Structure 1
Amino acid sequence: MDIKIGTLSDVEGITDIFNFYIEHTNARFEEEKFTLENRQQWFSQFSSNSKYQLYVATENDSLLGFACSQQYRATSAFEDTAEVTIYLTEDAKGKGIGSKLYSQLFASIIDFGIHRVLSSVALPNEASIALHKHFGFREVGVFNEYAKKNGQYISSMWLEKALDADMSLKSS
């Protein structure tokens, strides 16, 4: 298994992963599937020379998952904050791939001046919460039933982690 910087050629597989979560889970709030063109535009925000990066896990030319850091909000007040996210294929879950992706992502973005990383986890999702807590994220709070998809209300837990260069990347 390889962890590498995501490229435009990975976008089709990323789109498939997103669309699985849109169709089969509440992890994504969209009700309409993403298009390849939509995700290609989304991909343009990432660069290995910035705080917004995308890493993919592959094995035998098959995409297993991805992790990325993105702008939290488009205002200078949040310049030192990034939102991070991670998605895996169903077959890749429980094999340590998420930990490898986050380890690479955090090691790569730590020198770009990010002070805090945030993540939102749609509930229930104990595996994702455990992964984030493993990396030292702490629960900030839960937005109860603040989103609606397919007629069902969804709650999300928000988590945060300090990511200053002098701090460890992982909890002890």
Structure 2
Amino acid sequence: MEIRSGKLTDVVGITDIFNFYIENTNARFEEIPFTVKNRQEWFSQFSNDAKHQLYVATENEVLLGFACSQQYRAISAFDDTVEVTVYLAKGAKGKGLGSKLYTQLFSSISTYGVHRLLSGVALPNDASVALHKRFGFKEVGVFNEYAKKHGQYISSLWLEKALNVESAL
């Protein structure tokens, strides 16, 4: 298994993973699957030498998951804050890949002036909440029934973590 920076050629596999969550879970709020073209545009925000990065886990050239740090809000007040997320392919859960991806991501972005990491987890998702807490994220609060998908209201737990070199390792 390899953890490496994401490449444009990974977008097809990333799109497949996103679409699994869109079509089968409430982890993504979209109701219409993404297109590869849409995800190629999304991919353009990432760079290996900036605070917005994307890492993938592969095995035998099969994409098993990804983690990324993205802009939280498009105003300068939030320049030192990133939103992080991790997604795994259906058969890749429970193997420690989420931890490996986050370890690489947090270590890599720690030198780019990131002060705060945020993550929102659609509930229920005990595995994702546990993963974030293992990395030192603290619960900030719950947005109760603030989203609706397929006629069902969804709540999300929001978590935060201060990022510095010591906490990234």
Q: Tell whether the structures are fold-level matches, with TM greater than 0.5.
A: yes
Q: Which runs of no fewer than 5 residues in structure 1 stay unpaired?
A: none
Q: Aligned partners of 1:129 and 1:26: how far apart in 2?
A: 15
Alignment-derived partner of residue 57 in structure 2: 57
Alignment-derived partner of residue 137 in structure 1: 137
Q: Aligned partners of 2:146 and 2:92: how far apart in 1?
A: 29
What SS does the corresponding residue of 1:168 show, helix, strand or coil?
helix
Alignment identity in percent?
Answer: 73
Residues paired across the two proteins, number = 169
Q: What letter is aligned with 1:42? A: W
Alignment-derived partner of residue 95 in structure 1: 95
Per-residue deviation, 1:90: 1.3
Alignment-derived partner of residue 24 in structure 1: 24
Q: Aligned partners of 1:64 and 1:38: how far apart in 2?
A: 20
2:167 paired with 1:168:
yes
Q: Aligned partners of 1:142 and 1:76: how far apart in 2?
A: 25
Alignment-derived partner of residue 155 in structure 2: 155
Q: Aligned partners of 1:89 and 1:142: how far apart in 2?
A: 26
Per-residue deviation, 1:164: 2.3
Q: Which runs of no fewer than 5 residues in structure 2 stay unpaired?
A: none
Q: Aligned partners of 1:41 and 1:77: how far apart in 2?
A: 24
Q: What letter is aligned with 1:12? A: V
CA RMSD of aligned residues (A): 0.7
Q: Aligned partners of 1:164 and 1:36: how far apart in 2?
A: 34
Alignment-derived partner of residue 40 in structure 1: 40
2:119 paired with 1:119:
yes
Q: Aligned partners of 1:61 and 1:101: how far apart in 2?
A: 16
Per-residue CA distance 1:71-105 (angstroms, 9 max, x = gap): 00000100000000000011110000000000000
Alignment-derived partner of residue 78 in structure 2: 78
Q: Aligned partners of 1:3 and 1:9: how far apart in 2?
A: 15
Q: What letter is aligned with 1:169? A: A
Structure 2 length normalisation: TM-score? 0.99
Q: What letter is aligned with 2:113? A: G
Q: What letter is aligned with 2:2? A: D
4+ residue segments displaced more than 6 Å: none
What SS does the corresponding residue of 2:50 show, helix, strand or coil?
coil
Per-residue deviation, 1:168: 2.1
Alignment-derived partner of residue 7 in structure 1: 7
Q: What letter is aligned with 1:51? A: K
Q: Aligned partners of 1:58 and 1:14: how far apart in 2?
A: 11
What SS does the corresponding residue of 1:50 show, helix, strand or coil?
coil
Q: Aligned partners of 2:44 and 2:14: how far apart in 1?
A: 14
